[in-house]
Amino acid sequence: MLQISLMTERHRLAKLLRVSSKNRLIDQGKQVHAALVRIGYGSDVILNNDLIDLYGKCGRMDMACDVFDKMPETNVVSWTALMCGHLQQGNPKSSLLLFCRMGYTDVKPNEFTFSTNFKACGVLKIPENGMQIHGICVRTGFEWFPAVANSVMDMYSRCGRISEAEQMFNLMPIRSLISWNAMITGYALVGMGEKCLLLFQKMQRQGEILDDFTFTSTLKACSCLGAIEEGTQIHAYLITRGFAFSVQAIVSGALVDLYVKSGYLFEARKVFDQIEQKSVISWSSLILGYAQQGNLKAAMDLFRQLRESNIWVDGFVLSSMIGVFSDFALVEQGKQMHCYTAKFPSGMEKSVANSIVDMYLKCGLIEEAERVFNEMPERNVVSWTVMITGYGKHGLGREAIRLFNEMQVEDVEPDGVTYLALLSACSHSGLIEESREYFSILCGDYRIKPQVEHYACMVDLLGRAGCLKEAKELIHNMPLKPNIGIWQTLLSACRVHGEFEMGRKVGDMLLELDGKNAVNYVMLSNIYADAGYWRESEKVRVSVKLKGLKKEGGCSWVEIDKEVHFFYNGDERHPLTKEIHKILKEIEKRIKEETGYPYEVRFALHDVEEESKAESLRYHSEKLAIGLALVHSGVEEGGRTIRVFKNLRVCGDCHEFIKGLSKVLKKVFVVRDANRMSRQLLYRYGMIVMLILFSPVLLAKKSYHDYFGVSLDRERRDRVGNMKEGTEFLELCGFERVGGGKFLFLPRDKVDMEVLKSAGTALNSAITNPFFGLLSK
């Protein structure tokens, strides 16, 4: 009788345990645990296995291990449950170690054990271990269990071994929807978009079932490929098939991301607005999309809405938002955001800290960046790379090298981007020998394949140093196809060093390679002009006109009291033109007296596409914009930072002018300019901190749209044409035309100060300013 009631009690508790585990009810689980021990089932294997599962799911690995260690005997389920726990708690290494330990016991792995550990290898990206386990799996006859085969495939594709994954897929005796999806996902993961789309087609043709996993992976592939047509077809297909994508947060999320990445913000927004239960992921996709287009206002509006909704702000959103402020060099907003992150547990994430460090570096506050960097409890490759990049841009090449060594002492492996940062740091500090050395280390590192960007960096550096022959040879001998940019770099180096012959050859070649780009003509023409071949120079210029190619006209703008004033080169339309000219003349005289300007430094910035000398006889637009700012503020020393934007690169002459100006007036100037690469130049008391913002992105991880060159909402693009002019750009930034040479910033939204005040951190004092004050000082 007693026996029976104990049995039923055991049965009841076992059920309760399963329920607790499923619903992650740790406290209830603990009570059941205690009850089981009380009635004498403390060493029941099955119950203990369930306890391991429970504690693992609830994130209490310490307790799961405790149960495991105290078990008088274990079976394969106990081991596997513990491995799963480790894996789910983000500790795949422990799972693998446990797998090794199990090899020394009599307990044999089963299909669950294998698939769990393949997953672990996939997460860790260690194909070597995965292959070893695959071998064991073959020998023990578990290879073609469906779940095992799928997880082997998944492991290979996550480790980038796509051909092994393909082999598994082809050999598989039973292919389920999961197998198809795993293969499609694999292609999408390694960026093989075409293959992914082909497989998707094949699935359809063979009449396989498609599910939401299939669609999201395929959409991701479309997004990698920029295949907007195919993506739109899938979108249409989803609608016509009555797929309830409005509630399918994940599929729609992928759709939003596809449109964002392809630059169709208008479509992205439409899909986004239809999602009933928006996840934080879709929010961050869209916010980032606006930000990368330079639409600061839209990005901030969306962020405000996100805060007002009840969605938990995660690290992705925070780091994206901080990124927005660093891109616009809005130091104050960036600082406020820094404080704001303290409100969230996700603010502790590495990515957030990394973007904060990056933000301070881009705003020129190097000490602040160092402080945050040093206080980080944990650093990853990105953290170190950010710092190395920052030191590089501030001309502290030695510091960059020091960090590069230090990170390796701390067992953080540099990757391709780290090397790029290091090379560029050496380059900007004139450390030629060191660059050569690190470049050869990079080439010898079997883990990293040097990319075009690495070669471009070396060409740039050798070009600066005047080693043009070496640079040219490097291009000829590189195993990758040189791109236009590399040749342009070499060409401008030829100009700097007066290498007429080589320059002419490279220039001619560029015209053949990229004859549609007016910039190449201008560069060649300048080469001729420098060498005194005026007629040839003129001929090249004329041919640009004959071919109907147009170089974008220079345009700069400056914000004064929430109005934006813009100027073209030599623009005299502004009502204060007289005053501007007067003040520029005075100040030029002062700079000349106090600093010796102009130095012969036309090419200090090593511009690829600077405006030609002939055009610069009149005042360049950036000088006019600065002139206006000075008319407005007076020429007293110190005071507010002056922030000027320009659609093209600042020329060497204006650069020296601003540098001198910053010294004479003890003022900070920030010039945001753009072209092939958008930059931000920070002038501080005669020093220049050069900052490249949207530098070429390695490994084509994501497509940064050129800051100025792209208008993206289809609707807007139709309206403004292929937006190239600064004025349309301003409209896209959220400015409203008010006539004359003026733009007005659209009215701000009210700031929710209460939310900010409730931050309840010691940093509160820093958030007393309106959070959404734009372009503040």
Partner DNA sequence: CTAGGGTTAG
Query: Footprint of DNA on residues 98-137 (CB under 7 A)?
Result: 110-113, 115-116, 119
Q: What's the rounded Cα separation, in Å, for the pair 443 and 474?
A: 13
Question: Are the beta carbons of 736 and 746 closer than 8 angstroms?
Answer: yes
The distance of closest approach from Cβ of residue 720 to DNA in the complex, given in angstroms and rounded to an integer, is: 26
For DNA, the binding residue among 250, 465, 746, 774 (CB under 7 A) is: 250
- Binding to DNA (CB under 7 A) within 643-672 occurs at none
Question: Are the beta carbons of 662 and 668 closer than 8 angstroms?
Answer: yes
Total binding residues toward DNA, as defined by CB under 7 A: 79
Question: Are the beta carbons of 612 and 620 closer than 8 angstroms?
Answer: no
Q: What's the rounded Cα separation, in Å, for the pair 592 and 264?
A: 49
If binding is defined by CB under 7 A, does position 451 make contact with DNA?
A: no
Question: Are the beta carbons of 379 and 356 closer than 8 angstroms?
Answer: no
If binding is defined by CB under 7 A, does position 427 make contact with DNA?
A: no
For 265, residues 6+ apart whose C-beta sits below 8 A from its C-beta are 259, 286, 289, 290, 293, 295, 298, 712, 713
For DNA, the binding residue among 117, 129, 341, 389 (CB under 7 A) is: 389
If binding is defined by CB under 7 A, does position 453 make contact with DNA?
A: no
Rounded CA Rg of the chain: 31
Task: Write the interaction track for DNA spanning residues 350-379; mark x where CB under 7 A is met and - where it is not.
Answer: xxx-xx--x---------------------
CA 715-717-720 angle, to 5 degrees, is 110
- Binding to DNA (CB under 7 A) within 70-99 occurs at 76-77, 80-81, 84
Complex with DNA: residue 194 or 473, whichever CB lies closer = 194
The distance of closest approach from Cβ of residue 292 to DNA in the complex, given in angstroms and rounded to an integer, is: 8
If binding is defined by CB under 7 A, does position 211 make contact with DNA?
A: yes
The distance of closest approach from Cβ of residue 625 to DNA in the complex, given in angstroms and rounded to an integer, is: 26
Q: What's the rounded Cα separation, in Å, for the pair 324 and 492?
A: 31
If binding is defined by CB under 7 A, does position 508 make contact with DNA?
A: no
If binding is defined by CB under 7 A, does position 29 make contact with DNA?
A: no
**Which range in 25-33, 417-425, 502-510, 678-686 contacts DNA by CB under 7 A?**
417-425
Complex with DNA: residue 334 or 726, whichever CB lies closer = 334
The distance of closest approach from Cβ of residue 664 to DNA in the complex, given in angstroms and rounded to an integer, is: 32
Question: Are the beta carbons of 336 and 769 closer than 8 angstroms?
Answer: yes
Directed axis angle between helix 500-513 and helix 484-496, to 10°? 160
For DNA, the binding residue among 51, 121, 317, 591 (CB under 7 A) is: 317
- Binding to DNA (CB under 7 A) within 530-589 occurs at none
**Which range in 196-204, 275-283, 483-491, 595-603 contacts DNA by CB under 7 A?**
275-283
CA 451 remoteness from chain centre: 18
If binding is defined by CB under 7 A, does position 253 make contact with DNA?
A: yes
For 361, residues 6+ apart whose C-beta sits below 8 A from its C-beta are 369, 386, 387, 389, 390, 393, 394, 691
The distance of closest approach from Cβ of residue 222 to DNA in the complex, given in angstroms and rounded to an integer, is: 11
Q: Is 745 helix (H, G, I), strand (E, B) or coil?
A: strand
* Residue from 49, 106, 131 nearest 83 by CA: 49
If binding is defined by CB under 7 A, does position 281 make contact with DNA?
A: yes
b/e string for 524-534 if b means 16 or more Cβ within 10 A?
bbbbbbbbebe
For DNA, the binding residue among 94, 185, 336, 678 (CB under 7 A) is: 185
For DNA, the binding residue among 20, 49, 616, 675 (CB under 7 A) is: 49
The distance of closest approach from Cβ of residue 203 to DNA in the complex, given in angstroms and rounded to an integer, is: 11
If binding is defined by CB under 7 A, does position 50 make contact with DNA?
A: yes
If binding is defined by CB under 7 A, does position 315 make contact with DNA?
A: yes
